[in-house]
Amino acid sequence: MWLNKALRAATTLRRTLGDSWAVALGLMAHYLFTALTLIALARRLTPDEYGQYVASVALASFLVALPNYGLDTWLLGRGGDQAGAVAALWRKALALRAALLMAWAAGMALLAIRLPPETYPRPVFAGIVAGTALESLALLTLTALRAMQAHRRVALIQAIWAALALGTALLLPLAPGRLALFTTVRAILAGGVALWLALAMARRPAATGLSLSMGDLLRQGQSFLLSDAAALVYMRADLVLVGLLLGPAGASIYGPALSVLNVALIVPTSLFYTAVPSLAQAFVRDATSPGAHSFGAQARRQLALQTGLGVVIGLGLWGAAPVLVWLYGPAFVATVGVLRLLAPIGLLRSLNYALAAQLIARQRQARRTLTQMAVAVFAVVGNLLVIPEWGVAGAAFIFVAGETLLCLGYFLNNRTY
């Protein structure tokens, strides 16, 4: 019997790792091409213009959590449903998101009037807002495909999309003063991807008789909205506040460090995307088949794997910081020290992905949300206190401290299986 259990565990791990590596390759291409796009912009524009772009993207990506309404994580957590049910849920979620994004775009137009133009030039900011909204629609469809276990297809789409963005940065006649041209073309590209994905997804058969109303969707999405908003606060408030308090010069130092960090976290992120629907299925299976105990074993394997990856990533960030940041050019040499301060996040974020996947799969999203909201408050207050005094180094310290608190909170909510 123990041999059969070992074989089943090995098969499950191999299948999960196969999906995870497919996701990892897609994310690797996505983040690599995105990083190369930023490098191309940094070398073809002035440092201040690069800082304007990074600060504007950070602010738009931060505020888009409101119209996103947590629907991506909510839909990903429905990975235990049949493909037809996921397709039906996607249609309702897409309609709700489109309506919310239109209201959000109007609000962002009003906000642009109050923002300092030296950090957020209006033509640049308008293109980034449009692109962010259209990307949000495309990402919801990609999430539905992930929930259907179509990880390889999502990986391919991500890679092609990011490669097209890189080609845009390289082929457009960019020069100092022409940043708005890139943000406009980037928005057009996002719109084309979103439309193509929506048309392809609409052809999939959807389950009929779905009882979920828009009111139900709004109620179910509330905790995920708070969760995603809190996550964006503690992960991106630092860059937003650096841009607001230190201007484009500070954003041009801190932004590249975050870009390199995101590239380094590709594999842990991919494991999270594949673990959530897989763990959700195991949790449902355990509930319907007492004695199966597949969720606990799967969760422990995932935690061990993420821990090992996190150690390697953290050490790699520390040692390779000078080489990685050198790619951006001599104007960004100050980023080396910032990236080394952020190196512990390699381990902390890997652990947080593992523990968060378990909470989502076990339908403990409310507990996760409360933890995230507490860390979000800490991040905002902490950054407001330290950035004026310590600059980007203070922002990095608060980032690491917030991830540590998040890890502790997730662990306490996952003490038992």
The rounded percent of the chain whose pLDDT value lies above 90 is 40
Those residues with Cβ within 8 angstroms of residue 234's Cβ, 6 or more apart along the chain or in another chain? 372, 375, 376, 378, 379, 399, 402, 403, 406
Q: Give 292-306 pLDDT, tens digit per residue.
A: 677 888 888 888 999
Does residue 54 carry a pLDDT above 60? yes
Range with lowest mean pLDDT among 104-108, 268-272, 406-410: 268-272
Q: What is the pLDDT of residue 324?
A: 66
Distant-in-sequence, close-in-space partners of 60: CB < 8 Å, separation ≥ 6: 108, 125, 128, 129, 132
Q: What is the pLDDT of residues 194-221, one digit of tens each?
A: 999 999 999 988 777 666 777 777 787 7
Distance CA 77, CA 281 (A): 10
Q: Which two tokens stand for residue 242?
A: 């650096």
DSSP 215-281: HHHHHHHHHHHHHHHHHHHHHHHHHHHHHHHHHHHHHHHHHHHHHHHHHHTHHHHHHHHHHHHHHHH
- pLDDT class of 79 with cuts at 50, 70, 90: low
For residue 417, is pLDDT > 60?
Answer: no
Mean pLDDT, rounded, for 163-174: 91
* Confidence category of residue 2, pLDDT binned at 50, 70, 90: very low
Rounded to 10°, the helix 122-147/179-202 angle is: 30
Q: Cα–Cα–Cα angle for 284, 290, 293, nearest 5°? A: 70
- Predicted confidence band of residue 14 (pLDDT cuts 50, 70, 90): very low
Rg over CA atoms, the chain: 21
Lookup result for tokens 């995870």: 20
pLDDT at residue 414 is higher than 90: no
Higher pLDDT, 243 or 14: 243
Mean pLDDT of 356-373: 85
pLDDT of 313-339, one tens digit each?
Answer: 999 999 988 876 667 777 778 888 899
User: What's the confidence (pLDDT) of residue 174?
Assistant: 87
pLDDT score at 140: 95
Range with lowest mean pLDDT among 171-185, 213-227, 235-249: 213-227
Model confidence at 7: pLDDT above 80: no
- The lowest-confidence range among 53-62, 97-106, 132-141, 292-301 is 292-301
> In this predicted structure, what is the pLDDT of residue 309?
93
Q: Sorting pLDDT into bands at 50, 70 and 90, what band is 416?
A: low
Mean pLDDT of the chain: 85
Residue 111: its pLDDT value, please? Answer: 95
Percentage of the chain lying above the pLDDT 70 cut: 91
pLDDT of residue 286: 76
pLDDT of res. 325: 64
pLDDT-derived band at 24, boundaries 50, 70, 90: low
Residue 311 has pLDDT above 90, yes or no: yes
**pLDDT tens digits along 365-381:** 788 888 988 998 999 99
What pLDDT was estimated at residue 21? 67
Say what the pTM is. 0.71
The crossing angle, in degrees rounded to 10, of helices 47-63 and 2-44 is 140
Determine the Cα–Cα distance for residues 299 and 407; give it in Å rounded to an integer. Answer: 16
Q: Where are the beta strands (DSSP E) in 65-176?
A: none
Distances (CA, A) of 20 to 215, 267, 314, 316: 34, 8, 20, 21
Residue 284 — pLDDT band, cuts 50, 70, 90? confident
Alpha-carbon span 189 to 382, nearest angstrom: 37
